[in-house]
Amino acid sequence: MHGVLAMIAQRIALGVATLFVISLLVFLAVDMLPGDPAEAILGQSATPASVAALRQELGLNKPLVVRYADWTVGLLRGDFGRSLANDRPISELIAPRLGATLSLAALAAAIALPLGVLLGILSTVHRDRALDRVASTASLLAISFPEFFTAYMLVACFSVGLGWLPAISLSSQGGFVETLKMLALPALTLSLAVIGYVLRMTRAAIMGVMASPYVEMARLKGVGPWGVVVRHALPNALSPIINVVIINLAYLVVGVVVIEVVFVYPGLGQLLVDSVAKRDIPVVQACCMLFAGTYIGLNLLADILALLANPRLRRPRQREARA
């Protein structure tokens, strides 16, 4: 037990260190963006004196190390700072956008993850048959197409061609049905790639244990294809399936930037793009750190769950510790 806790602590420490490195890269990358934030805020008609005064007020004339230290201390306190564009607290800007992004990711996950796992199981049960070939081909196409291409194809089909769904997913004040119609196309765009990836990984994980002795014994006892896959192979393939499901949850949260821009969806990704255009550095940094923290946290959760679900991942180190 102590060995497992030590391995989990090591992974958490690695995640924290990775987040620290990402914070440094984000800060340096945003600082290297062309143009002066003070000039962008005041406009081209600003005088040098007013630009210098604003830089003094915003602390932009401080050394890079000092500004990074102040920023990281604020992050540790939960203070993202204030927006340069409108002087509002960044937390007030992010909160509704984060809720919108999480709603979109939750809807896409509710569609993609169960459907991907189910299709992976069906593809395994009917392997080398028509269903398996069609599912494998369709999943490969879904993974291969860029997100923006899939989005525009769906818009051309369901919005321009059929007129069923709105092409722009602006915030809706209507009821439940209107909200679902607003979220339908961006959620479907996110879901297609995830379904393909989860399907292929589920099939590969189950097929990896199909040649095991206990599976052969179940076949010899007369267990049907469904029983062999669902009762015997699937429980022993859950570790990689859980891992890929959580990793795709991370993708659904942090991979929405392109989708939100295509559909003009008022989420965190759209806020990030708008803030880059406005040179609103604190908002850009806050959005990047939220995306990075979410991705690292969910990947860390996937790593820990895989460690707990698969004793083979921790057995070699336990033996080394005993030796």
DSSP designation for 81: -
Q: Where residue 155 sits, what CATH number does that domain have?
A: 1.10.3720.10
Q: Establish if 250 belongs to a structural domain.
A: yes
Query: Does 22 fall in a domain?
Result: no
pLDDT value of residue 310: 61
Token pair recorded at residue 278: 């406005």
**Does residue 28 lie within any of the structural domains?**
no
User: What is the domain extent for residue 233?
Assistant: 96-322
Number of domains present in the structure of the chain: 1
Give the rounded percent of residues in the chain with a pLDDT score beyond 70. 85
Answer yes or no: pTM beyond 0.85.
no
In Å, the largest CA–CA distance within the chain is 87
- Please state which of the ranges 55-59, 95-99, 271-275 shows the lowest mean pLDDT: 55-59
Instruction: Flag whether 247 is in a domain.
Output: yes
Residues whose CB falls within 8 Å of the CB of residue 121, separated by 6 or more in sequence, listed in order: 202, 206, 229, 230, 234
Give the chain's mean pLDDT. Answer: 78
Q: Which residues face 89 on adjacent strands? A: 82
The whole-number average pLDDT for the span 75-88 is 79
The pLDDT tens digits for 129-159 are 888 888 888 888 888 888 888 888 888 888 8
What the block records as the tokens of 81 is 């700072």
Taking 80 as the threshold, does the pLDDT of residue 41 lie above it?
no
Domain presence at residue 89: no
Q: Which of 50-64, 118-132, 189-203, 276-290 has the lowest mean pLDDT?
A: 50-64
What pLDDT is stored for residue 320 in this prediction?
44
Chain centre distance of CA 131: 30
Q: List pLDDT tens digits, range 176-190.
A: 777 777 888 888 888
pLDDT at 207 over 60: yes
Residue 268 has pLDDT above 50, yes or no: yes
Residue 251 in any domain: the answer is: yes
305 domain-assigned: yes
- Report yes or no on 20 lying in a domain: no
Predicted confidence at residue 36, as pLDDT, reads: 66
Q: Please state whether 127 falls in left (phi above 0), alpha (psi between -120 and 50) or beta.
A: beta
CB atoms within 10 A of CB 230: 15
What the block records as the tokens of 41 is 């805020």
